[in-house]
Structure 1
Amino acid sequence: MKTRVLSLTGAAVAAFLGASAQAETLSIATVNNGDMIRMQKLADHFTKAHPDITLNWVTLEENVLRQRVTTDIATKGGQYDILTIGTYEVPIWTKQKWLMPLDKLGAGYDADDLLPSIRNGLTAGGTLYAAPFYGESSMVMYRKDLFEKAGLTMPEAPSWAFVADAARKLTDKSKEVYGICLRGKAGWGENMAFISAMANSYGARWFDMAWKPQFNTDPWKQTLTTYLGLMKDAGPPGASSNGFNENLALFQTGKCAMWIDATVAASFVSNPAQSKVADKVGYALAPDNGLGKRANWLWAWNLAIPASSKKGDAAQSFIAWATSKEYLELVAKEEGWANVPPGTRSSLYANPDYQKAAPFADLTLKSIQAADPLKPTVQEVPYTGVQFVAIPEFQGIGTGVGQAFSAALAGQVSADQALQNAQALATREMTKAGYIK
C-alpha cells in the first residue's frame, strides 16, 4: 500500500494554519455610558487571555440601543452575539425563549454573591439568563457647598416638599446654577424611569387591577404638575432634551444644585478627573411624599446572549469575565475602588476598601434593597416592575407617554392635555393587546 504525501507551499501552510486558528469575533451591542466605555478600554485584558476571541463593539445611545437589539432579537437578525439589555427585557425575552441560559460561566463565577434583588429579575428556573454588569436604584446627589451657603441641611431621607423648596431657593439663573436637574428626554427608560418612580411615591400607578390606565387620577396629576412646576422654576433650559448623560454633564460642570437619578452616577460626579465639583457632592435617599414609598427605582444593565447565537461558548467566556469579582478588582487596580461597577455583588459592599473609597456605597445598597418590583406603589397593581411594567407592550406605551410628558415640559401642551393624551394612548394599546375586555 502506497502512502501519499501531500506537499504544501509555505503560503498554503500559513493559510491552513491561519484558518484553523482564526479568532472568533464577538459583536457586542452596548450603551454609551461611562461604565460600559470603561469596559471597552479594559477589554484588552480579556483578549490577551483569550487570543482566539476578538471583540467588535457597537456603542449606541440608550433609546437607540433598545430599538436595535429588540428588533434584532425579535427578527432573529443575528447582528449581535452579546446584548446589553435591562431588567425589563430579561424575563420577557426569557419567556419567549430568545435568550441563551448562562450555564457555562465557570465554577469560580459565584452567582450566589449577586445581590438577590438584582439576581431574581434575571433568573428563571434557577438559571441566569443575563448577568448584571452594574445595578442601580436612584438617589439625590447634591452640592454640599451650595446647601451650606443657603443655610439648608439635606436630610438623609428627604421629602418632595423639602426638595422642591430647596430647589427653588438654590436656583440662580444669572449664574447658570439650577436648583434641580431631572430627566426630560422622552423614552420609557429615560424620562419615564424617573417620572414613574416619582409617581410611585405619590401613590400613582400605571394600571389598576383590571389593567385600566390611571393617568386620569389625582396622584398622576399631582406627580406631573409637581414635576413640571419644579422644572419650570428651578430646572435648566432645554430640559425636554436632557437624559442621563446630559444631566450628568450639567452636574459635573457645576450647573445643578441637585440631581435625582441613578445611583451609578455617584462615582462619576465624585471623580476629580471628570467632575469639577467632585469634593462638594453629598448623597441622600430618593424623596418620598409621606405614603411609604420613595422615588427609587430598580435596574441593572446586563449582558445576555441571543438564543440563536452560534458563538455561545465564547460569549459566555466574555460575560463571565466582564461581570466577575476579578473584573471589579481590575477596575479598582486601574482606576480606584470608587469607580468599580456598583450594585451587583454582596462582596463589594462588604469590602472595606470600597466602603472607604465610595461614600455613596451604603445609600446605594439601601436604595437597591428598598425597591420592591412586586409592590412598586402604594396601591395593589397587577404588574411587576418599579419604574416599568413588565409586559411586552410597555416599550411602546411607555415611550408614547414619555413623549406626551416631554411635550408638556417643552411647553407644547398643558399638564392636563398630556395626561389626557397618555390616558387615551394607553387605553387604546391595552385594549388592542387584549388586556382590557
Structure 2
Amino acid sequence: MSDAQRDRPTLLGLLPWGERRAVSDALRTETVGGLVLLVAALVALVWANTPWSGAYEALRDTRFGPSAMGLDLSVGHWASDGLLTIFFLVAGIELKRELVVGELRTPAAAALPVVAALCGMAIPAVLCAVVSSAGGGSPTAWAVPMATDIAFALAVLAVLSTSLPSALRAFLLTLAVVDDLGAILIIAVFFTSDLNLLALGGAVACLVLFWLLQRMRVRGWWWYVALGVAAWVLMYNGGIHATVAGVAMGLILRTTPDGAGGAGRGAEKVSPGDRTAHRLRPFSAGVAVPLFALFAAGVSVSPEALGAVFTRPEPLGVVVGLVAGKAIGIFAGTYFTARFTRAQLNPDLAWADVLGLSVLAGIGFTVALLIGELSFPDPAQADHIKAAVLVASVTAATVAAVLLKRRDRIYRRLCQEEDRDDDADGVPDIYQRNERGAA
C-alpha cells in the first residue's frame, strides 16, 4: 500500500472500543425487541384476518382516558401517541449521544452517515411522489417510505443467523437514528392540526424548565417525569404530535457524566441520558413498539387488499420508495461521499456489503406505519398504505437476506477476529494489536 493510500480515511473501518461497546449494548436490546415486534406484527395480521377480526377492531377502538384533559383516546391512539413517545425519547437520547461522543461528533466523521441517511430519505420521498402522481394519485404518501426500522432489520438478521461486523451494524444504527430525527421533524412540520398556542407555550415552558434542571444538575427523577408528562399532554393538546415531546426531552438530557474519573459525592459515573436510555430501552423495544405494531399492523391481506397495493398509485409509490428508493439513496449517498472525500472502503469489505445494507434499510415498519396513519385519516386508505408498508418491508427483507447471506462466511470471520480475546483481559486482541502498531 502506498503512502497516499495509507493516508486516505477508511470507510466503515474498525470502531473505537468504547463506541463499539455502546453500539453493541444498544443493538442487543433492539434485536430482542425486534423479535418481539415480529411476533406482534404476525399476531395482528392473523387476528385481523380471522373470523374474530371484529374483536380486534373493538379492542383497538376502545376509548379511555381523562376527557377533561382532551385525552379520551382509543387504545390504538394511546399506542401511537403515548407508547411511541417512549420510543422517540430513546431515539432522541441516542441521537444526542452520537452528536456529543459518537460517530456524529465531528463533521468529518458525520459526513458519511448523515449524507447517506439524507439521500436515503430524499430519494424514497421523490420516487413515492413521482410514482403516485404519474398514476393519477395524490403525492400525500411521500413521507411514508423515509424511515428505517432498526429493530425490524436486526430481527431479520437474527432470524437468518446472519452476523455483521460492528462497523456495518453501527452504520445501520446511525442511519436509523438520523432517519428518526428526520421523521419527527416531518411529523412536527407537516402533520399538525389546529394549533393551540397557549398549550404549546405551556409545553415549551415545561421543556425549558426540564433543560434548566439538567443544567443545574438536579437529580430527582420525579421532577423530570412530572415535567415530561405535562409537556406531552400540552404538546398533544397544542396540535403537534405528542411524540415530538419525547424526542425533545431526549435531546435535552445530558449524555456526558460530570466528574468522570473524579472523586467525591458530586462525580457521576453514568450520564442522565445513558441512565435513562438503559432503563427505558428494554421497555421501548420490548413493549412500546410491539404494542404499537399490534394495533397498527392489523390490516386485511385478502387478494383484493394486496391487489390494491400494486394497482393504486399511492400504495405502489410507498413500495417503490421503500424497496428501490432506500437502496438507491443510501448506496449512492455512501458511494459519492466516499469519492468526494477520497475515502477508501475497508479492505475487508466490498461495495456489495453496502448494497445489502442499503436494501435492508428499506424495512420501514414502525415509523412508516405511524406516518401512514397521519397522512391518510380515511381508514380504508390508511389500510392500503399499511399493507404497502408490510409488503415493501417483507420484500426488502427478502432481497437483503439473499444479498447478505452470500457474504455471511466473510462476516463470521470478521466478527470472530473482532471478538477474539486470547489473553482474556476483556479487550479484544485486535484493539491491542492496533495500539502496538500505532506505537
Give TM-score, length-normalised by structure 1. Answer: 0.29
- Higher-Rg structure is 1
Bigger strand share: 1
Taking CA–CA contacts closer than 8 Å with sequence separation of 6 or more, which of the two structures ends up with the larger relative contact order?
Answer: 2
Bigger helix share: 2
